[in-house]
A = this chain, B = another copy of it.
Amino acid sequence: MIEPRGSRRQRNAPTISDVAARAGVSPMTVSRVINGEGSVRPSTRERVEEAIAALRYAPSAAARMLAGGEELRIGVLHTSTSLFYFSEFLVGCLDQGSRQNCQILVEQCAEGAESAAIGHLLHGRIDGLLLPPPLGDAEKVMAELRERDIPVVAVSTGRAPDWALSVSIDDRKAAYEMTRHLAALGHVRIGFISGAANQSASRERLDGYRGALTDVGLEQDPALIADGTFSYRSGLDAAERLLDLDAAPTAIFASNDDMAAATVAVAHRRGLDVPGDLTVCGFDDSALATTVWPELTTIRQPVGDMARTAVDLLLREIRQRRAGNAGQDQPHVVVDYQLVRRQSDAVPRRRPRS
């Protein structure tokens, strides 16, 4: 004689069966309604929806995954750099992840320890990987990933390899537009601080700057280009160099906000007013851009949206691979940037540095 054991349910949340009972249909029908399948009579659907609302029913993600046989997990690998960028990125990933019912595993890695981190992530049964900068440009990392044949999307990388997916803005065009904006303001000597040499976006931005100068008919003075590495510290040095010039620029366009903020600091230290005596523009629109004073005119990368897009792209790829289909139609998506004007740019003084 076997006594039926009691339910093991611990949560008091309503289940699909509760809804079914209340609506007077089978659980299967409820499932169909939830998933928006067409083959349900409108009147039935309505009854089910009423029941759902009344019970405040929400489907269990765990059960769906299990039953649906689709347990998606994607990894995010990042180095400690650019925390500003990363936070926005992460929020976007999570948001889209929960919407798409997929788990996000975050792995921080030190420089040089990427391989171990990748191993650790893969060990956690990752189905795909998201690479915020600067990892998408790290050749060793990319090579290893390619070897392992795992779907990867490189984000904010100027030039992603063909075999990988990518989401980015048009860095070249954005820098081009900013430079033209500066020229339109009346600036003739426009300084540029470049980014880290090992990131392809740096090159794109420099190209954009150069292209605009050419198109606008402004002189290309190599002295007006100072090398930076994207760090605040490097921005300090680069700005000093630029402002030490005999014919110093009246505007400086830095390849990111950190270096632009550093440029503002240097200008202030020299008693120059920003933007009165010197226009300073950045790139990225990170938290720093609105932290410093004056707030920076910069190029906004919609990092949160890019993250969401990256998640979607990756998920689609994973599903396609599972289904045995070929790759994506559009593996490289380019999203729109925005030039946002704040308080750090202005028309140049009539007699610069009088």
Q: How far is the CA of A71 from the CA of B15 in the complex (A)?
A: 13
Q: Which of A260-296 contact B (CB under 8 A)?
A: 262, 265, 268-269, 271, 287-288, 291-293
Q: Which residue of B lies closest to A265 (CB)?
A: B265
Q: Closest CB-CB distance, A268 to chain B, in whole Å?
A: 4
> CB distance B123 to A56 under 8 Å?
yes
- The A interface, classified by DSSP as helix, strand, loop or mixed, is helix
> CB distance A106 to B84 under 8 Å?
no
Q: Closest CB-CB distance, A309 to chain B, in whole Å?
A: 18
Q: Closest CB-CB distance, A170 to chain B, in whole Å?
A: 25
> CB distance A71 to B60 under 8 Å?
yes
Q: Which residue of B lies closest to A59 (CB)?
A: B125
CB neighbours of A94 from chain B (8 A) = 90, 94, 104-106
Q: Which residue of B lies closest to A125 (CB)?
A: B58
Q: Is A124 an interface residue (CB 8 A)?
A: yes
Indicate which residue in B108, B232, B271 contacts A291 across the interface (CB closer than 8 Å).
Answer: B232
Q: Is A328 an interface residue (CB 8 A)?
A: no
- Residue of A8, A13, A91 ringed by the most chain B CB atoms within 10 A: A91
Q: Closest CB-CB distance, A119 to chain B, in whole Å?
A: 11
Copies of this chain, count: 2
Q: Is A174 an interface residue (CB 8 A)?
A: no
Q: Is A176 an interface residue (CB 8 A)?
A: no
Given A13-B125, A265-B268, A61-B71 contact (CB < 8 Å): yes
Q: Which residue of B lies closest to A14 (CB)?
A: B125
CB neighbours of A95 from chain B (8 A) = 106
Q: Is A40 an interface residue (CB 8 A)?
A: no
Instruction: Pick the interface stretch among A62-70, A201-209, A215-223, A246-254.
Output: A62-70
Q: Closest CB-CB distance, A348 to chain B, in whole Å?
A: 21
- Residue of A13, A60, A70, A123 ringed by the most chain B CB atoms within 10 A: A60
Q: How far is the CA of A179 from the CA of B252 in the complex (A)?
A: 39
Q: Which residue of B lies closest to A232 (CB)?
A: B291
Q: Closest CB-CB distance, A323 to chain B, in whole Å?
A: 9
CB neighbours of A8 from chain B (8 A) = 69
Q: Is A192 an interface residue (CB 8 A)?
A: no
CB neighbours of A123 from chain B (8 A) = 56, 58
The digit string for A183-222, where 1 denotes a CB below 8 A from any CB of B, is: 0000000000000000000000000000000000000000
Q: How far is the CA of A70 from the CA of B60 in the complex (A)?
A: 11
> CB distance B71 to A11 under 8 Å?
yes
CB neighbours of A56 from chain B (8 A) = 123
